[in-house]
Amino acid sequence: MSTEGQIPNLEQPPGPGKIIKVLGGVAMLSGLLVVLTYQLTLPTIMENRRIAREKAVLSVIPGATSFIEFMLSEHEGLIRVKADGSTKVPEGMVDPVYAGYDNAGQFMGVALEAGAQGYQDVVRTLYGYSPPCECIVGMTVLESKETPGLGDKVETDPDFIANFKALEAKLSGDKKALANPIETVKHGTKKHPWQIDAISGSTVTSNAIGKGLNNSAQRLLPLLRYHLDEFEIEQ
């Protein structure tokens, strides 16, 4: 084929430097968009978290219609969390404590967090504790990645949920630990009020919840007993 009369293509392909600049610009723009999206959606995310937390706390403390958030530190005791976010967080391990109150302002109990390794990941829970009966009076799952249809039964199975209407969590004579460790037992073999009747087919997740509650209660309830009077406050 004759090439006479055709104009040769003198355009050179872009060099590595130009490609790097273009890719760098695209990366910077993408990063900027991610940051802007996060900043724009952050208020909505925080509000949704607040609503979810409020719903969870009130669901595990029977009779409570409102709550006050505290921080519990082994060294600095109980610290009320200020609504403006200016509360100074003490050094060391600090645990959130949510004190629930009824419409008349009467203290109804506290909500505490727990967590232990499940089949897929850590199963995080929130449980309610009633000082008068020294028992756990409610439990809800905060975060779980367990197998759908199996592990998530702990959130819907009525028999399993019934374990936490009055799960014994009494302290020992020296008040330094639980008198009887909370434990999960095989479905249908529960004999004691501090035992959790597991769900058939969801034993791993059931065990994770029991282990998490025991670890949390063993550590936090002996500390809380020193501060129960502080929950009787003017709201």
Mean pLDDT, to the nearest integer, of 138-164?
81
SS3 228: helix
Confidence class of residue 19 from pLDDT cuts 50, 70 and 90?
confident
Strand partners, 101: 66, 107
Strand stretches in 49-134, DSSP E: 66-73, 77-80, 94-101, 107-117, 122-130
pLDDT at residue 137, rounded to an integer: 97
**For residue 27, is pLDDT > 90?**
no
The pTM is what?
A: 0.78
**For residue 145, is pLDDT > 80?**
no
195 membership: H or E segment, kind and range: strand 195-197
pLDDT at residue 208, rounded to an integer: 94
pLDDT digits (tens, 9 = 90+) for 69-78: 999 998 888 9
Can you give the residue ranges of every domain in the chain?
A: 61-231
The CA-atom distances, in angstroms, between 174 and each of 200, 225, 230 are: 36, 12, 22
Sign of CA dihedral 73, 196, 164, 168: negative
